[in-house]
Amino acid sequence: MLGIKYAHDSMCRMANLDHAVKAYRASLAAVEAAKQEAERRVKESREQVAVRRAELAAAIVEAARDGVRQVDIIRATGYSRERVRSILRAGGVEPE
Is the overall model pTM greater than 0.85, yes or no? no
Task: Tell whether the model's pLDDT for residue 6 goes beyond 70.
Answer: no
Phi and psi angles of residue 67, each rounded to the nearest 5 degrees, phi first: 100, 5
CA separation for the pair 60, 52 (Å, rounded): 12
Q: Output the average pLDDT for the chain.
A: 91
DSSP 69: -
Task: Tell whether the model's pLDDT for residue 71 goes beyond 90.
Answer: yes
Burial of 84 (0-12, 13-18, 19+ CB in 10 A): buried
Task: Tell whether the model's pLDDT for residue 91 goes beyond 90.
Answer: yes
Percentage of the chain surpassing pLDDT 70?
90
Among 12-16, 22-26, 69-73, the minimum mean pLDDT is found in 12-16
CA separation for the pair 46, 24 (Å, rounded): 33
Task: Tell whether the model's pLDDT for residue 3 goes beyond 60.
Answer: no
What is the per-residue pLDDT for 34? Answer: 98
